[in-house]
A and B are shown apart, each in its own frame.
Chain A
């Protein structure tokens, strides 16, 4: 009985280590010193959070906690804030640009979250926002909803080909 369990445990452990250790890794360290938006360390932050299922799942939870869904809709389809599951991006679709939108806000109605929530949560949110349109790796993106399902799960999202849209209130783009 005991040895059988041990065997199973070893097999499981090995499988996890080989197949998905980075995907499942939980990093409890704060953000490295000097991490700057847009710089090379910014790019490192992106891969750090985006390839991590735990970070993406946390981002999804924060999306609800911090009322993101109230403006951008539960699944990122948009309401008073623009859709984030589509290909249209006003301020850039790379994680650093999305981080900046969340942290500093945007003039057409996006509130600034910097100073209101911890730095690593801003990155987790940015990573999750990218997963809404299939820009984050699909093997790490959330594939189920605890709440009422309103869209295809993030892990099954077709990757959208991002393109820059022009901000103009009068033409229905924000």
Chain B
């Protein structure tokens, strides 16, 4: 499709709907596209489309489907640019390009990267893929065996490959790349295996490595220099990536970059969280374990760190800090702040000043027993002494669980309601840590966990609409199972999400009232998206296919009679086996 054609169609759609306000957006940057998993650099997951809205969503129906032929956890977002939709499956990471101009969505092309099957064994939390990205006429996809591959978007022809590590080292790759200013940003996974974390910028045209920023080690490898100005004294110093570890432990210290990346074009800064320190057993790594379980701001041009805030210093509970960072401007007492919203696994919703790294507020959005608050003056997380994990002692009632108040499942921000829609879980756990040895290519953990239902009426999941200015929930919706899907917010004042037992739901963004639901064959752990098709109509799309850390309970190779199975989820949601079945399918919805 040519830009001119799209422009005309876009104008036509706008004219018909009378959405004059959208004209500027349409003409400038194709408001109907969904080019990356979070839709935009700010990670809002907000679609400025209102054809489907609170008044008519009740009539939404399934318009088309496509089976992926794979049946592990489908966590990816379908990506739409122009008249093509791109879908990447979990391992074996097949890429499909579907023609949106025909109702049956026929295949334009298919690409099979054939990853090394060994990588399946080192993927801690199912063989998922968080999605591909499309930019500059190219598709960028990560494979489980640590490859980043660039494809020609029009025909699927391979342009280049970048490979970082043999999966036998314990390193897989599941995160979604972010394409910014001619760079493809990627991060590694494998903190559970003692893999040392990094963020790499690749040249978009050639796939050559431009810079690499480690999460542990000496300043020169973490890319820390004079421009590094963390807000709090606790994050300042020289070679903290070495000094805050037992001797040499930073080399096998985790801090991988397995979650979401955000970018502020005005500041030229990329934001992301680092994963947990290794091993899980914190007794074996006295010190703060910099720069794990914290948030980095880095200069996109050089990769050099601007600030860092360690969310969970000396991470006791495998909380990590890899959850999404949503970049929004907030009206706070004292004026407009360029904020960064970070709903962390440790249970607090952090509001940062994204210029400086100052924590403006940190408010619990779930029940927390592992800490008593965040000191905004020093930035210190106040751990609760009674939940200190010690070797060979069972600590009960750890809330939230190690999967966090929320996990990878991304929130959505609506600029209309000014609310953050957080899909999450309501789980606690019992845990015992013990001494563990580093054996390359095997898990480096030393912990047994068994999760259980959190406080309340037995619901194990929840969607919370959070007001970051007021610091409280505007509304919540309880769900039986953890809400392991992403959230989508639209200009139609709707919020979409899926459940692990296979309901795809639309609720009123202002009240949380259920307005529509649809049952899929398999549970939903994917990221819903909204786009405008070549016919000018709005569509909603999501992948079904249960899986992921929580959803792997549904697989034949997990036996839920062991409460520690599926990383401890069997203790809390073993009944999922009876409520859904594995699958893998794209669902597209439209108004009649």
Distance (whole angstroms) from the CB of A142 to the closest CB of chain B = 14
A118 within 8 A of B: no
Q: Are B121 and A170 in contact (CB under 8 A)?
A: no
What would 7 A/B residue contacts be, using CB atoms closer than 8 Å?
Answer: A67-B436, A67-B439, A69-B564, A77-B560, A111-B121, A148-B564, A151-B562
B328 within 8 A of A: no
Pick from B122, B192, B431, B566: contact of A77, CB under 8 Å:
B566
Q: Are A77 and B558 in contact (CB under 8 A)?
A: yes
Distance (whole angstroms) from the CB of A87 to the closest CB of chain B = 9
Query: Could you say which of A66, A88, A110, A171 has the most chain B C-beta atoms within 10 Å of its C-beta?
Result: A171
Q: Are B559 and A169 in contact (CB under 8 A)?
A: no
Distance (whole angstroms) from the CB of A134 to the closest CB of chain B = 12
Distance (whole angstroms) from the CB of A150 to the closest CB of chain B = 4
Q: Are A169 and B92 in contact (CB under 8 A)?
A: yes
A77-B570, A148-B448 known; A109 vs B559 contact (CB < 8 Å): no
A109-B122, A111-B168, A165-B556 known; A66 vs B439 contact (CB < 8 Å): yes
Give the interface segment out of A2-10, A38-46, A78-86. A78-86
Give the interface segment out of B66-74, B230-238, B369-377. B66-74
Give the interface segment out of B112-120, B269-277, B340-348, B460-468. B112-120
A150 to B557, CA, bound (A): 17
Q: Are A146 and B392 in contact (CB under 8 A)?
A: yes
B residues within 8 A CB of A172?
71-72, 555-557, 582
Report B's interface with A, CB cutoff 8 A: 69-72, 91-92, 117-127, 167-168, 192, 392, 394, 430-432, 434, 436-437, 439, 441-445, 448, 450, 552, 555-567, 570-571, 582
Measured CB to CB, the nearest residue on chain A to B581 is A172
B residues within 8 A CB of A83?
557-559, 562, 565
B residues within 8 A CB of A79?
124, 552, 558, 565-567
B residues within 8 A CB of A70?
192, 442-445
A52 within 8 A of B: no
The 9 closest A-B pairs by CB, nearest first: A109-B121, A70-B443, A77-B562, A77-B565, A75-B562, A83-B559, A82-B557, A150-B564, A74-B564
Distance (whole angstroms) from the CB of A139 to the closest CB of chain B = 22
Measured CB to CB, the nearest residue on chain A to B569 is A79
Distance (whole angstroms) from the CB of A147 to the closest CB of chain B = 5
Give chain B's interface secondary structure class: loop
A108 within 8 A of B: yes
Distance (whole angstroms) from the CB of A57 to the closest CB of chain B = 16
Q: Are A111 and B442 in contact (CB under 8 A)?
A: yes
Measured CB to CB, the nearest residue on chain A to B126 is A80
B residues within 8 A CB of A66?
437, 439, 442
A-B contact count (CB 8 A): 150
A148 to B443, CA, bound (A): 19
Distance (whole angstroms) from the CB of A102 to the closest CB of chain B = 12
Q: Are B565 and A78 in contact (CB under 8 A)?
A: yes
A54 within 8 A of B: no
A13 to B480, CA, bound (A): 57
Q: Are A148 and B432 in contact (CB under 8 A)?
A: yes
A146 to B434, CA, bound (A): 11
A173 to B71, CA, bound (A): 10
Apart from the given pairs A71-B443, A108-B121, 18 other A-B contacts in the complex at a CB distance below 8 Å: A66-B437, A67-B437, A67-B439, A73-B566, A75-B564, A77-B560, A77-B563, A77-B566, A77-B570, A79-B558, A80-B121, A85-B561, A108-B118, A148-B431, A150-B450, A170-B70, A170-B72, A174-B120
A residues within 8 A CB of B557?
78, 82-83, 88, 172-174
Q: Are B558 and A169 in contact (CB under 8 A)?
A: no
- A26-78 interface with B by 8 A CB criterion: 64-67, 69-71, 73-78
B residues within 8 A CB of A151?
561-564
A77-B561, A80-B123, A111-B121 known; A67 vs B442 contact (CB < 8 Å): yes
Distance (whole angstroms) from the CB of B246 to the closest CB of chain A = 19
A1 within 8 A of B: no
Q: Are B117 and A148 in contact (CB under 8 A)?
A: no
A67-B436, A74-B562, A77-B560 known; A148 vs B394 contact (CB < 8 Å): yes
Pick from B120, B431, B445, B565: contact of A169, CB under 8 Å:
B120
A152 within 8 A of B: yes
A1 to B39, CA, bound (A): 85
Q: Are B91 and A169 in contact (CB under 8 A)?
A: yes
A70-B443, A169-B91 known; A110 vs B582 contact (CB < 8 Å): no
Q: Are A111 and B117 in contact (CB under 8 A)?
A: no
B residues within 8 A CB of A78?
557-559, 562, 565-566
